[in-house]
Structure 1
Amino acid sequence: MVMTETMFLVGFVAFIAAILLLDMFVIDRKAHVVSIREATVWTFVWIGLALLFAVFLWFHGDMVHGIENFNDLQTVASKYASHLKLHPDDFEMSLQQYRHYMTVSYISGYLIEKTLSVDNLFVMMMIFTSFGVGKNEYQHVLNWGILGAIVLRFVFIFLGSAIISRFDWVLLVFGVVLVYSGVKMYLNRNDKAEMNVEKHPLVRLLSKTGRIHTQFEGDKFFVRRAGRLLLTPLFVTVLVIEFSDLIFAFDSIPAIFSVSLDPYVVFFSNIFAILGLRAMFFLLAAISDKFRYLKLGVCVLLVFIGVKMLIHEYVEIDAVASLVFILGVLGISIGASLFAKKS
């Protein structure tokens, strides 16, 4: 099974890499300001791909783990979904049950990551504004930012899964962190986010090397001056975005482990959510003022997920109930925002 899991993961990563390379070097090779229409179309394209993968999991999710018999299924379920009641005398029904559990967990994880990403997108807007990045270069920076985010998530998710499998009390730590983050976000929800570029710890560290170029040079990340290779402000912007995503991952990854302990499901949901972030960024930049209560919804989700992790030993909130709650919070926060906008 380990070999099958590895092969599937390699194939998945290769598929994602091919999509990213096609997107970066063919479709969006020429820098331009992304319109609302283009952002909307690509947002639905990425959502469509994510839903197609959900369909795959619903019918063939067992292929991820290479499950061939009931013993294989029992081994996988004992690691990632011990609460499921499998039936040894009906392998097909048990297998279908696990596929459906994977699918619901994947969709829940995808929605959580998408929702939590909203706050991170606002941070990205602030970073672009603070560094004075031209709008036609947003796309270029976000492409590399997303690529870096995928690498970070791969490391964090599989490392986190390995830690949880050995020390299950880590889930309690994750729960406390998420509740704290949700309460803190609620208390600071009306604060205006600002950034002093010169005082940012990463910028200060890079400044000490004396290798930061003071001016933008189109879409170049590096320039050579007097025989020295210098970092342009555009490259520093990418590094700061990666730094912010690193901080953001401390909330988002524990949150997704609340709906599934399967690192593959967590990774798949994370990646498909991240792939659509660039298009979502441009769409959100245009309509961000229309969703005033979405941040409040994020706060509620963080607290709910944190509490769920804290009580998982005593109360099991199943995947379907979690998905219904997540959809309900999203629907209410978006609906309340649109209603408030009209009135």
Structure 2
Amino acid sequence: MESIAPLWLWVVFVVSVVVALVVDFVVMRHQGAHAVGVREALRWSLVWVALSLAFNALFWWALQGTHGAEVANTRALEFLTGYLIEKSLAVDNIFVFLMIFSYFAVPPAFQKRVLMIGIVGAIVLRTLMILVGSWLIAEFHWLLYVFGAFLLITGIKMWRHAGEAPDMEANPALKLLRRVLPVSRGLDGEKFFTVEDGKRIATPLLLVVALVGITDVIFAVDSIPAIFAITTDPFIVLTSNVFAILGLRAMYFLLAAAAEKFHLLGYGLAVVLSFIGTKMLLIDVFKIPVLVSLGVIAAILAVTMVWSLKTAPKLKT
């Protein structure tokens, strides 16, 4: 489970993530509960993307000085490809989050805090999953074929069910949570617990946080193996994943405002997963260059988005 990154860059990464989260929490506390508009979401999205690209530039600079320009270019490109994969697969998370918020009628003003808590939980859980996954792949190379087959099958299933709305009533996680936790009849502001009939019980907002966390773990089972198709370096896998997650909340509010316009993205994501799964299955026969992978993924997403915009339902006036 060796990494090409020097120790000091690991430290810079950890410090950068902690500082970014602290600043985000401070800003959120200062603003209070409020609905995030498109302009605010766009500004924060640009900030997170800029931070990710700046870190990748630092990564390139560190490797360029110790391993040469060729290695630095390859590794930086792997980071960028992994980042794009995680960003694109996060779109599916976002549409499910939108369904969860709609089902529980969570006001836009309360969604920001829920997503922030979900992001912190996602970073912790995904870090553990990535470190364990890196060790397993280092010890058992054949697991790459298992991951590849899993992603290919998942891509086919996603294509078949693209465009279908999740059935929240049939969600096993929601059923289990309701059995374990007594839940109040309605929300109590941003509180996770309230008093009802003299008893302290959970509010629906706590169920929302739990479901957001569970959803992210489920989708991580797809997205993490997908990045292993690009590189097995734990530093690149972890950093590209975490930096993509940091911008998930802002990305949610952007896509939530234009969910209907990108209604065909599910098909594009299905093709992306199928392509990555095939790439992993062929890894010992023919290794697809990272630049080609990046171009294919970007092209699939671009075509799907343009296709979505052209076929988007027209709003009635």
The SS at the match of 1:290 is: coil
Q: Residue 223 of structure 1 aligns to a residue in which SS?
A: strand
The amino acid across from 1:51 in the alignment is L
Quick one: distance in 2 between partners of 1:281 and 1:336? 21
Of 317, 321, 324, which aligns to 2:295?
Answer: 324
CA deviations on 1:18-65 (whole Å, 9 max, x unpaired) are 2112212334540100111111111111111111112112211479xx
Shift of 1:273: 0.8
How many Å apart are 1:6 and its aligned residue? 5.3
Letter in 1 for 2:33: A
Q: CA contact under 8 A between 1:211 and 1:229: conserved in structure 2?
A: no
Aligned counterparts, 1:109-120, within 5 A: 109-120=82-93
Query: What does residue 76 of structure 1 align with?
Result: none
- Which TM-score applies when normalising by structure 1? 0.84
Q: Does 1:285 align with 2:287?
A: no
- The amino acid of 2:178's aligned partner reads S
Checking the alignment, whether the CA contact within 8 Å between 1:36 and 1:282 is kept in structure 2 is: yes
Q: Equivalent residue for 1:216?
A: 187
In the aligned structure 2, how far is the partner of 1:102 from the partner of 1:230? 50
Moved more, 104-113 or 13-22: 13-22
Measure, in 1, the Cα distance between the counterparts of 2:308 and 2:265: 7
* Structure 1 position 166 matched with structure 2 position 139: yes
For residues 228-260 of structure 1, the C-alpha deviation after alignment (integer angstroms, 9 at most, x for no partner) is 653221111101111111110110000011111
Measured after TM superposition, the shift of residue 5 of structure 1 is 5.0
Which residue in the other structure is 1:60 paired with?
62
Query: In the alignment, which residue of structure 1 is the partner of 2:245?
Result: 274
SS of equivalent to 1:283: helix
- Aligned partner of 1:233 in structure 2 is 204
Unaligned stretches of 5+ in structure 1?
68-93
Question: Which position in structure 2 is the counterpart of 1:19?
Answer: 20
Paired residues in the alignment total: 311
Query: Structure 2 vs 1, CA of residues 175 and 113 (structure 1 numbering), >3 Å: closer, same or farther?
Result: same
Give 1 or 2 for the bigger CA radius of gyration.
Answer: 1
Q: Does structure 1 retain, via aligned residues, the 8 Å contact 2:163–2:264?
A: no
Are 2:282 and 1:311 aligned? yes
CA distance in 1, matches of 2:7, 2:59: 17
User: Tell me, which stretches of 5 or more residues in structure 2 are unaligned?
Assistant: none
**Are the counterparts in 2 of residues 152 and 246 from structure 1 also a CA contact under 8 Å?**
yes
User: Pick from 53, 70, 79: which aligns with 1:51?
Assistant: 53
Q: How much has 1:224 moved relative to structure 2?
A: 5.4
Deviation larger for 307-316 or 209-218: 209-218
* Counterpart residue type for residue 46 of structure 2: F
Deviates more, 1:113-122 or 1:200-209: 200-209
Residue among 106, 118, 126 paired with 1:133: 106
Shift of 1:132: 1.8
Query: Counterpart of 1:127 in structure 2: which amino acid?
Result: I
Percent of aligned pairs with the same residue? Answer: 39
Distance 1:208 1:47, change over 3 A: same
Label 1:210 to 1:5 Cα distance change in 2 as closer, same or farther (>3 A). Answer: same
Q: For residues 114 and 281 of structure 2, what CA distance do their matches in structure 1 show?
A: 38
